Amino acid sequence: MSIPEPAEEQRGERLQKVLARAGLSSRREAERWLAEGRISVNGAVVRRPGTRVDPARDTVRVDGKRVAGREPTVYYLLNKPAGCLTTTHDPQGRPLVMDLLGRVRQRVFPVGRLDFNTTGLLILTNDGELALRLLRPASKCPKVYRVKVRGVPDENTLKRLAKGIVLEGRRTLPCRIARAGGGANSWLQVTMTEGRRNQIRRMFLQVGHPVSRLQRVAIGPIRDPRLMVGHFRPLTPLEVRRLKEAVA
């Protein structure tokens, strides 16, 4: 069966939703896959984010592998090391967080991103709907970071950052910043509900205190100070329930 023509666009389901429900990706990740030409429908590569398909009749493939029915949902917590990318694929062959999950049989994906040199907690799952809720700004799910910056920001600078500053023409949402130790260079704890690209690094760079270390220590109710860097574990049923309640 051919890909629906424009006149039929309202039939079926959006391709991103089908992939999310199948547990293969978040909708945001699916849009990247479309742009990279990794998805085909009935043998033809598709790149349009609005493409609709009928899962009962259309054959959808990712990287040549057919999208099957939904697998049981799984949830993992990883303590990401520096020096790896938070993505499922990299054309340049750089280290990925997925390389650390050798024992995981299900095809999971990271929820959100930590940049190359940022460490800390990262959730990986095949539950596309939960991932979508966690990534929506409206969910207001707090993420907590330990941040080491050069120098000692004064109180006015911290208050300015906490109220929100303009980055690339748009003001950041309010956040909480508390001092967490340090001497000539400061350790801070930053709690925020927003997650723009390299946001914390760009915020502190703009006020003259570049970040030298950045670690995420909590995602909503999820913490684990004992999880070693580079290691992962399944979330417990209680943790999964609390995480879903936090973004309901």
Element (H, E) at 217: strand 211-219
Same structural domain for residues 121 and 148? no
Going residue by residue through the chain (248 aa), what tens digit of pLDDT does each one get? 444 443 344 567 888 888 877 777 777 788 888 999 999 999 899 998 888 888 778 889 999 888 876 668 899 999 999 999 998 888 899 999 999 998 888 888 999 889 999 999 999 998 888 988 898 877 889 999 999 999 999 999 999 999 999 999 999 999 999 999 878 899 999 999 998 889 999 999 999 999 999 999 999 999 999 999 999 999 999 999 999 999 88
Same structural domain for residues 167 and 215? yes
Last residue of a domain, one of 46, 66, 86: 66
Whether 176 is covered by a domain: the verdict is yes
**CATH code of the domain containing 155:** 3.30.70.1560
Last residue of a domain, one of 66, 88, 109: 66
Calpha distance 2→57 (Å, rounded): 10
Same structural domain for residues 155 and 208? yes
Same structural domain for residues 179 and 131? no
Same structural domain for residues 79 and 179? no
Residue type for position 217: V
Q: Do 153 and 226 contact (CB within 8 A), yes or no?
A: no
Same structural domain for residues 206 and 160? yes
Calpha distance 62→30 (Å, rounded): 10
Domain that holds residue 175: 142-219
Same structural domain for residues 213 and 227? no
Calpha distance 220→95 (Å, rounded): 27
Q: Is the dihedral of CA 176, 217, 203, 211 positive or negative?
A: positive
Q: Which residues contact 30 (CB under 8 A, 6 or more apart)?
A: 15, 16, 19, 20, 24, 39
pTM above 0.95, yes or no: no
Same structural domain for residues 92 and 206? no
Q: Based on the residue annotation, tell me whether 54 is a catalytic residue of this protein.
A: no
pLDDT (0 to 100) of residue 20:
78
Q: Do 44 and 84 contact (CB within 8 A), yes or no?
A: no
Q: Looking at the 3D structure of the chain, how many domains does it have? A: 3
200 CB-contact burial (10 Å; exposed 0-12 / middle 13-18 / buried 19+): buried
Q: Where are the alpha helices (DSSP H) in the chain?
A: 15-21, 27-35, 128-135, 155-163, 199-206, 237-246
Q: Do 216 and 225 contact (CB within 8 A), yes or no?
A: no
Same structural domain for residues 90 and 114? yes
Same structural domain for residues 85 and 120? yes
**CATH code of the domain containing 15:** 3.10.290.10
Residue type for position 236: T
pLDDT (0 to 100) of residue 55:
75
**CATH code of the domain containing 242:** 3.30.70.580
Whether 197 is covered by a domain: the verdict is yes
- Among residues 54, 115, 127, 154, which one is catalytic? 115
Calpha distance 192→27 (Å, rounded): 22
Whether 121 is covered by a domain: the verdict is yes
Same structural domain for residues 177 and 80? no
Whether 1 is covered by a domain: the verdict is no
Same structural domain for residues 168 and 197? yes
Q: Do 209 and 193 contact (CB within 8 A), yes or no?
A: no
